[in-house]
Structure 1
Amino acid sequence: MSQDTNEAAVRRFRTLFISDVHLGSKSAKADHLIDFLRYHEAETIVLIGDIVDGWRLKRSWYWPQDANDVVQKLLRKARKGTRIIYIPGNHDEFLRDFPGIHFGGIEVKTNTIHQAADGKRYLVLHGDEFDVVVRHARFLAYLGDWAYDAALGINIVLNVLRRRIGMPYWSFSAWAKHRVKQAVNFIGEFQKVVAEEARRHEVDGVICGHIHHAAIEDMDGITYINSGDWVESCTAIGETLDGEMTLLTWRVLRAETTPTTTPPLLAPPVAQVKLREVEAA
C-alpha cells in the first residue's frame, strides 16, 4: 500500500473474486485494477481466469509496465499473507497444465468449492467449459475475439474524446453486446447451464467469469454470480466478513480524485445487493 493511500478508505473483505483482466491486451485496464487492489484488502483473492491474455500475446507481444505492476501487486499481497488462488480460463489455458502448483505463493487450481462465512458453498470456475463455440469451434472463437478487439478499439478512441470534454467512461462494446439479440440469448443460456452445473455439484451457487457480464442473480434456487471483467466494466465480487456477496465497480482512478474524496466505488445501488436467503426445497 502506498504512503498516499488513506488507511481509513481501504475496504476489507473476506474474499475478492476477479476475472478477465486480459493482461497483454491493449484494452486491459491494468491501471484501474492496481488502483482497486490498493484500496481493497482481502484474506483470499480468487483469480477466475483470463488474467493473462495468451491469445493476444501469441499474435503480437504487448506487455506494458502496468501489466507488470498488476503481477507484482498480487505477488506482494501473497507475500504478506493473502491467499491467492488462480483458476485459468481459455485465454490463459496454458496454466491448466499446472494444477496444484504454486507460483510465488499463487496456487493454480482447475476449479474450487468456496465456502462463504455464512456457510453457503459456491462452485468457482472460469466458465469457458460451457461455451460451445470455445469448446467445439475454436476458429469462430478466434474470429469473435478479433471482432471484440475491434469494438474495444472503438472504446479507446471514443473515451479519449469523452474525457477531453469532461464526460465519464462509457463502453461502446458493452452497449453493442447487450443490444444484439444473439448476445443477450447467449448470456441467458450461459447462466442457465452454469447454474445447472452448480446444482449438479450440490452447492448453493456458482461464481464465474468468461462472458464479461457482471451479475448476481437467483436462478431457480441457485445463486449465479459473475465477476465481470477489467476491459470494459472494471468489476469484481467481494465477500464481506459475514458472507454477503457484493458487486463492486471501479470506474475512476483514485489518482484522478482529490485526496479528500472517498474511493470511487460507483456500482449502482441495484448491483450492490445482499443475497436473500434461498429457502430449502
Structure 2
Amino acid sequence: MSEHPTTHYRTIWISDVHLGTKGCQATALLDFLKHTESDTLYLVGDIIDGWQLKGKWFWPQSHNDVIQKLLRKCRQGTRVIYVPGNHDSFARHYVEQNFGGIEVVEETEHVTADGRRLWILHGDRFDGVVQFAPWLAYVGDHLYTVALTFNMWLNNARARMGLGYWSLSQYLKQKVKNAVSYISAFEDAVMQEARKNNYDGVVCGHIHKAEIREVDGILYCNDGDWVESMTALVEHEDGSLHIVTWTPPTVVREKKTRRSRLRGAVVMPQQAEDPIAEPVARVAREQEADPPAPTEETGKEEDARSVIQA
C-alpha cells in the first residue's frame, strides 16, 4: 500500500507511459493517479506504444486499469487533454475528437496561474532521427527495449536484496557523450521554436529526461516518463512548476495475457480502421454505457469485472 497522501494540483503533465510494453510502470502510474487530483491533466504523447503492439501484443490488466482511471477522472470533472507522440501517432488521425471525455489535439497552449503561456507538444518533430531516418528510430527503439528488459531483471534482483530502483538506461544517457549532446540539441531546438512563436515556455516529453530550466527568458519543461524515471510535471495554484518523482509501490510482475483472450474483450467497431486504437475505444464505449462512477473502493472491483472478460 502506498504511503502518499492525496494532493491537488492545478495542472499535471505526464508522457511516455508506453502502455503495451513490458517496461511500462503501470502500477506506479496508477498509484500516482490515485493520490493526485488536478483541474487539468495533459497526456503529452507516447501513452500507448503502437510500435510495440504492432509487432507483439502485450496488454495486461494494469494497462487497462490506467485507461479506466483516466476515463474516471474525466467523469469526476478533470479536463484530460491528449497530445499524441510518435509511438501513438495513430491518435493524430482523431485530432479534435473526444474519447470518453479525453480531448485529442495535435498540440496546444496552456496559461499558468501567473500568466505564462506554455506550448504543449510531444517533441518528436524536433528529433532528426524520427523525422529523417525512421528506420534508425525503430532500431534504436529495439535496443532501448533490450536495455529495459535487462534493467527489469536487474531491479528484481536489487529488490530481493532490499535495494531501491535504479535505471541503467538513465545512467548510460548521463555518461555517454553523444546522448548528452543529443538531449542538449533537442532542448535548444524546442526552446528556439517556442521563442519564435512568442511563447514564454514549452512543455514536452519524448526524450525520457525530466527537467525544468530557463534559458534567456524561455522556460523548458520536460515531464520525463513512466518507464524509467516515473516523473510528472505539476503546476501549483500559484503557477509555480516542479517535477514530481514518484516512489512506486511494491510491484508484482504480470504474466503476458494470451492474445486469444484479449481478442474477445478489446474489439474495435467494424468501421474502425486502426487496430492499435482499440484499447481506448473499447474502454470509452463501455464507460458511455455505465452509470455514474462508483466510489474509489468499489471502482477497482468493477474495472476487473467489466473491462476484461475471459
Please tell me the TM-score bracket, short chain as reference.
0.7 to 0.9
Cα distance in 2 for partners of 1:227, 1:114 equals 15
1:148 pairs with one of 139, 144, 147 = 144
Contact 2:114 2:238 in 1 (8 A): yes
1:277 is aligned to none
Please point out which of 190, 196, 202 is paired with 1:200. Answer: 196
Structure 1: unaligned runs, 5 residues or longer: 257-281
Partner of 2:25: 29
Structural mapping, 1:80-95, within 5 Å = 80-95=76-91
CA contact (8 A) 1:233 1:251 kept: no
Query: Does 2:241 match 1:245?
Result: yes
Equivalence map 1:120-139=2 (5 Å): 120-139=116-135
Structure 2 equivalent of residue 224 of structure 1: 220
Tell me the residue number matched to 1:214.
210
Residue in 1 that maps onto 2:55? 59
Amino acid aligned to 2:232: A
Local SS of the residue matching 2:207: coil
More displaced stretch, 193-202 vs 86-95: 193-202
CA contact (8 A) 2:45 2:82 kept: yes
Distance 1:116 1:87 in 2: 18
Q: Distance in 1 between matches of 2:188 and 2:209?
A: 14
Cα RMSD for the two superposed structures: 1.5
| Separation in structure 1 between the aligned mates of residue 45 and residue 2 of structure 2, nearest angstrom | 28
Question: Which has more helix, going by share of residues?
Answer: 2
One-letter code of the match for 1:241? E
Equivalent residues, number: 252
Of 142, 154, 157, 2:153 maps to 157
Structure 1 residues 167 and 137, CA, compared in 2 at 3 Å: closer, same or farther?
A: same
Q: For the residues of structure 2 that align with 1:142 and 1:255, how far apart are their CA atoms?
A: 29
**What's the offset of the Cα at 1:5?**
8.3
- The structure 1 residue matched to 2:66, chosen from 65, 70, 80, is 70
**Hey, what's the Cα distance between the residues in 2 that align with 1:45 and 1:200?**
26
3-state SS, counterpart of residue 59 of structure 2: coil
The two structures have a TM-score, normalised by structure 1, of: 0.87
Match of 1:180 in 2: 176
Q: Which amino acid aligns with 2:66?
A: V
Does the Cα contact within 8 Å between 2:2 and 2:31 map onto a contact in 1?
no
Distance 2:2 2:174 in 1: 36
- State the distance in 2 between where 1:55 and 1:225 align: 26
What 5-or-longer segments of structure 2 have no aligned partner? Answer: 253-310
Q: Which amino acid aligns with 1:36?
A: F
Match of 1:265 in 2: none
The amino acid across from 2:33 in the alignment is: L
Structure with larger Rg: 2
Residues 99 and 108, structure 1, Cα contact 8 Å, conserved in 2: yes
Aligned equivalents of 1:193, 1:94: Cα separation in 2: 25
* Contact 2:19-2:48 within 8 A present in 1 as well: yes
Contact 1:35-1:254 at 8 Å conserved across structures: no
The percentage of counterpart residues that share the same residue type is 52
SS at match of 2:23: coil
Q: Matched residue of 2:227: which SS?
A: coil
CA displacement at 1:251 relative to structure 2: 2.3
SS at match of 1:178: helix
Query: TM-score scaled by structure 2?
Result: 0.79
After superposition, the Cα gap between the structure-2 partners of 1:113 and 1:91, relative to the gap in structure 1 and judged at 3 Å, is same
Equivalence for 1:236: 232
- What is the Cα deviation at residue 254 of structure 1? 7.5
Which of 102, 105, 108 in structure 2 is aligned with 1:106? 102
Residue of structure 2 in register with 1:41 after alignment: 37
Partner of 1:11: 7
Listed one character per residue, the Cα deviations across residues 79-118 of structure 1 (whole Å, up to 9, x for unaligned) are 1110000000000000111111000000000000100000
**Contact 2:26 / 2:66 at 8 angstroms: preserved in 1?**
yes
Following TM superposition, by how much is the alpha carbon of 1:60 offset from its aligned partner in structure 2, in angstroms? 0.3
